[in-house]
Amino acid sequence: MAVPCSPVLAVVCWVAVSVVAWSAERSNPAQRPNVIILITDDQGYGDLSCHGNPVLKTPHLDRLHDEAIRFTDFHVAPMCTPTRGQLMTGVDALRNGAMNVSSGRTLLRREFLTMGEVFANSGYATGLFGKWHLGDNYPYRPQDRGFQESIWYPSSHIGSVPDAWENDYFDDIYCHNGRPRQFEGYTTDVFFREAIRWMGEQAKAGRPFFCYLATAAPHAPHFVPERYREAIRKALDTARPQLLNAATGSPQADRAAFENELVRFLAMIANIDENVGHLEEFLATSGLRENTLLIFLTDNGSTFGPRYFNAGMKGGKTTLWEGGHRVPCFIRWPKGGLRPPGDVPGLTEVQDILPTLVDLLGLAVPPTARFDGISLAPVLRGESSVPEDRVLVINYSRMPIKANHSTTNSDAVPRREGAAVLWKRWRLLEDGALYNLDDDPLQERNAIEQHPNVAARMRAALDAWWAGVEPRINEFQAVIVGDPAENPTRLTACEWADVFLDQQAQVRRGERKSGLWHIEVATPGDYALTLSRWPYASGLKLTEGVAETPVTDGVFKAGEAWPIAAARIRIGGTERTTGVTSDAIAARFVLPLEAGRTTLETMFLDADGQEIAGAYYVTVERLRRTEKPTKVILDTDMSGDCDDAGALALLHALTDRGECEILATVVNRKDKTNTSAAAVDAINTYYGRGNLPIGADKIGPTDLQRTSAYAAVLRDEFESDIGPDDRAPDALTIYRQILDSQPDGSVTICSVGALSNLAALCRREPELVRKK
């Protein structure tokens, strides 16, 4: 956050921006520049060959560096969510609410306009490709915050708790405009390819575009195609004498493991650089290059820099040292009338980008919008320099790694003393250490006693800044449940308040933690809450562990089973407990909820009633009000095709929602495998309705002329007790019994497949069919 100008000056600057934005709405769309922001994940200032890296070669990013205006003292937060929220809003992390990478503190407050909304409101097509990390549920998702096209993955990294199960950077499932979709290829290739495709479509349609391209790489896990590693290995061998010696004192095995991960990390950046080359080729061949404003930056300091090469700085990701938050920022707009390419000194920050774009491009913003950053448009035009006396404050919420439960005194609660204050070349860290980078670039000598006046001035700036953010630092944002925009809503442990559980590796290990969700019930009514340890896509039962799983470029470790016997929820002032069977995949509660803010907490219990851990996944669904659920008999050729299994599962889901009542299932056409009834019984039992009547066609006019590939598997691998079709009750007998027991006009028969049973029923009992 900048603390430079008086309130009067701030108002004058804001009015000027508003007038420009209002008048710019009348400009010709074909002449408006396109905008691309490219941000990489965990790549530091030194992880570029143009910044002296002795191992990595980044020729395409180096060329961009040479052609760009470069802010050389540019700062972000030391972690990704705070940086991304500040980028999207121009507002400090502790003010906009997105202050941590998980733990219930990633959600961007709804009252702040995002960059996507600003561009969309200004007539631009808007697209996000890659990492969002500012909320996975309504109303915080990209599609809720101004992005008309979005291909993204949830939370902090590929392989996070809410991500598609066992995504591994290759052929992953991402969220495309609100729906899961699998994309072929390596993650970085996919996001660049899809962004280029979309930009080409907008250009062809004559629409100016804003493309936010946010890679997953080089964030861990460091999965990358092998072909990028070999050159890195050779370069590492050559450069080893020049590298920092942090790992040389370690045992050989530790050094080898570190170097293997370093090679993978740098190979991921080499792949990014190759894709930057593809992007540049697209811009050149499409004729878009000259009138496209391209910004490149990274989201925090390097995860590896302090251990091999750090461009003359101390510290990396998650630290307040210079290497934790000083990152590259390159800006190129050939047709924009900007100053010549070159270095621009002076303190700048990620919060400056949005107000700069508003000013530079004349974007539409409401008169109530306020930014903590400043416009650098005059600097980019060569009309002025960065304010010399500017003060920046960097602060964010720390990761509560050790917390097992939500508490009020968590390490995640931001503190005034958790800040870095930047002024000129001075750095005040945690209100206790002062460094002058001009004569101490590695921040090794605390000069606070020698320069008390400097420290006092910086503390005063910190006090003024803290007074502005402190009242709301512990105000959690709520996920909205029961809104038509997202119903059902899936909550995951990554949003537990001040508890860190954001990795599928933690889910597999079964870390014994629990936490509170802050939720807001949109509409009063009956809600179903379904608690799981595993995501549904895993196919795992509550009490099962998970086996070691080989993936494209690595192995996911095995995880232990839990002895779950019961589940408990607390929501508001209501507490409920239910037993859990050994073959259950989830525990389900249905209860009425009033509209408004509340908290939700869950717990799995063992047979002795002892707590195990909270549910990592909870689905919350507002049930449709149904006066009389539809009564259904399903008539199915279960062994014929798998659509029959899906139809029966759908009926069970509708029954769970209170919209349907399954009266019975009858199987039609005599089946060669003799397993249709058993397959039906297995599905019914799986959904907790193993006592539903089942009838079988004994004398169907034709046999199915193939052997089922799955009915016998359902019989053998899932619980059922009805036995072969020959021993099941006759289908017509079941029909007669069920129809006789129901009021007239109350039954719906749903037939999937052959109509042999239904035809026989109509021939033999026409009056019964007409009545019921």
For residue range 527-561, list pLDDT tens digits in order.
999 999 999 999 999 999 999 999 999 999 999 99
Q: 238-260 pLDDT, tens per residue?
A: 999 889 865 555 567 788 999 99
How buried is 533 (Cβ within 10 angstroms: 0-12 exposed, 13-18 middle, 19+ buried)? buried
CATH 3.20.20.70 fits 7-26+36-395, yes or no: no
Separation of alpha carbons 353 and 338, rounded Å: 15
Helix axes 353-361 and 7-24, enclosed angle (nearest 10): 50
Which letter does DSSP use for residue 168 in this model?
A: -
Please tell me the predicted confidence (pLDDT) of residue 7: 29
| pLDDT > 90 fraction of the chain, expressed in percent and rounded | 83
Please tell me the predicted confidence (pLDDT) of residue 637: 86
Q: Where are the beta strands (DSSP E) in 437-536?
A: 479-481, 489-492, 516-521, 525-532
Please tell me the predicted confidence (pLDDT) of residue 642: 82
Mean pLDDT (the chain, rounded): 92
Is the confidence at residue 13, as pLDDT, over 90? no
Tell whether pTM > 0.85: yes
Separation of alpha carbons 435 and 444, rounded Å: 8
Please tell me the predicted confidence (pLDDT) of residue 12: 28
What is the number of other CB atoms lying within 10 angstroms of the CB of residue 227? Answer: 10
Is the confidence at residue 38, as pLDDT, over 90? yes
Helix axes 59-67 and 252-285, enclosed angle (nearest 10): 60
Classify domain 630-771 by CATH number: 3.90.245.10
Q: For residue 131, what are the β-bridge partners?
A: 153
Separation of alpha carbons 282 and 291, rounded Å: 13
Judged by DSSP in three states, 79 sits in coil
How buried is 90 (Cβ within 10 angstroms: 0-12 exposed, 13-18 middle, 19+ buried)? buried
Q: For residue 332, what are the β-bridge partners?
A: 294
Separation of alpha carbons 634 and 647, rounded Å: 9
Judged by DSSP in three states, 361 sits in helix
What is the number of other CB atoms lying within 10 angstroms of the CB of residue 466? Answer: 18
Is the confidence at residue 29, as pLDDT, over 50? yes
User: Contact, 368 vs 391, CB < 8 A?
Assistant: no
Classify domain 479-622 by CATH number: 2.60.120
Domain-wise residue ranges, the chain: 7-26+36-395, 479-622, 630-771
Is the confidence at residue 1, as pLDDT, over 60? no
| H or E element at residue 343 | strand 342-344
Q: Where are the beta strands (DSSP E) in 450-515?
A: 479-481, 489-492
Q: 331-349 pLDDT, tens per residue?
A: 999 999 999 999 999 999 9
What is the number of other CB atoms lying within 10 angstroms of the CB of residue 127? Answer: 26
Please tell me the predicted confidence (pLDDT) of residue 705: 53
Task: Name the residue type at position 344.
Answer: V
Q: 647-677 pLDDT, tens per residue?
A: 999 999 899 888 899 999 999 866 677 889 9
Tell me the mean pLDDT in the region 609-631: 93
Cα distances (angstroms) measured from residue 82 to each of 14, 25, 91, 502: 24, 31, 10, 16
Q: 719-768 pLDDT, tens per residue?
A: 899 998 888 999 999 999 999 999 999 999 998 877 888 888 899 999 99
User: Contact, 191 vs 129, CB < 8 A?
Assistant: yes
What is the number of other CB atoms lying within 10 angstroms of the CB of residue 498? Answer: 26
Who has greater pLDDT, 170 or 723?
170
Tell me the mean pLDDT in the region 87-108: 98
Cα 43 to the chain's mean position, in Å? Answer: 19
